[in-house]
């Protein structure tokens, strides 16, 4: 079955702009989580969506937001981009939310560069 | 903030040798997972060990967990060039909290 699809793969934006990233989970998976990876801070949890509802949120400013559609596809939005937002953004797909005894499936990521 | 630390930060070994990396975490866990990342791409789930398990095997991978010391180790036996990657441990508590990772280079 198809894996987790993230689009676009690469993105270059200017400071102050906004950006929208997309994630299509594995068919049948209803939970999508987003992570930011930077050399300085490593991998950090942004938020999780399940059944179109945000279930969990990490410690990021309000400029970072997301949503999930009825087909489980998710988008994350970053407004008023800053240079420090340059990162690899990863989404992870899972069948359900909460604690469970199997791993997550990650997409290949979107590499965002803010200039 | 990250859950814990991984040791060493980087590891360089010859093909055929074993690679061992360690992970420490701070809070009680439900399970601990290991992931691999090749060249800044997505993470691949390798193995999950539950908090009531002490050791688990999957192919050339062996994971141990010591909850009293809040630590885990990942052993890759008979390494191959394709094992060159960064390896991350992560604790799962409604979200994944990752360590800083160990970069493994396998020399041919």
For A7-42, how does the pLDDT look when each residue is reduced to its tens digit (9 = 90+)? 999 999 999 999 999 999 999 999 999 999 999 999
Q: Give the Å distances, CA to CA, from B39 to A11, B43, B85.
A: 18, 10, 7
| Residue A43 to residue B30, Cβ atoms within 8 A | no
Whether the pLDDT of residue B1 is over 60: the answer is no
- Window A:10-69, CB contacts with B under 8 Å: 33, 35, 42-45, 48, 55-56, 58-59
List pLDDT tens digits, range B57-100.
999 999 999 999 999 999 999 999 999 999 999 998 788 999 99
Dig out the tokens for A51 from the structure: 């059944």
Of A92, A99, A104, Cβ closest to residue B94: A99
Dump pLDDT digits (tens) for A43-62: 999 999 999 999 999 999 99
Q: CB count, 10 Å around CB of A2?
A: 8
């Amino acid at each position: 079955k198809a894996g987790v699809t993230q689009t676009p793969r690469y993105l270059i934006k200017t400071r102050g702009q906004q950006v929208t990233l997309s994630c299509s989970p594995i068919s049948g998976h209803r939970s999508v989580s987003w992570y930011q990876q930077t050399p300085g801070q490593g991998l950090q949890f942004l938020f999780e969506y399940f059944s179109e509802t945000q279930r969990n949120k990490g410690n990021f400013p309000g400029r970072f937001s997301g949503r999930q559609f009825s087909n489980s596809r998710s988008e994350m939005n970053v407004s008023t981009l800053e240079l420090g937002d340059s990162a690899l953004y990863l989404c992870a797909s899972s069948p359900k939310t909460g604690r469970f005894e199997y791993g997550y499936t990650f997409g290949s990521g979107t590499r965002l560069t803010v200039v | 903030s990250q859950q814990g630390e991984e040791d060493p930060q980087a590891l360089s070994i010859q093909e055929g040798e074993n690679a061992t990396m360690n992970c420490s975490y701070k809070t009680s866990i439900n399970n601990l997972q290991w992931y691999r990342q090749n060249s800044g791409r997505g993470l691949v789930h390798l193995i999950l060990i539950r908090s009531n398990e002490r050791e688990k095997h999957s192919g050339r991978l062996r994971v141990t967990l010591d909850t009293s010391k809040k630590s885990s180790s990942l052993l890759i036996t008979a390494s191959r060039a394709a094992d060159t990657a960064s390896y991350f441990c992560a604790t799962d508590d409604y979200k994944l909290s990752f360590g800083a990772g160990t970069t493994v280079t396998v020399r041919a």
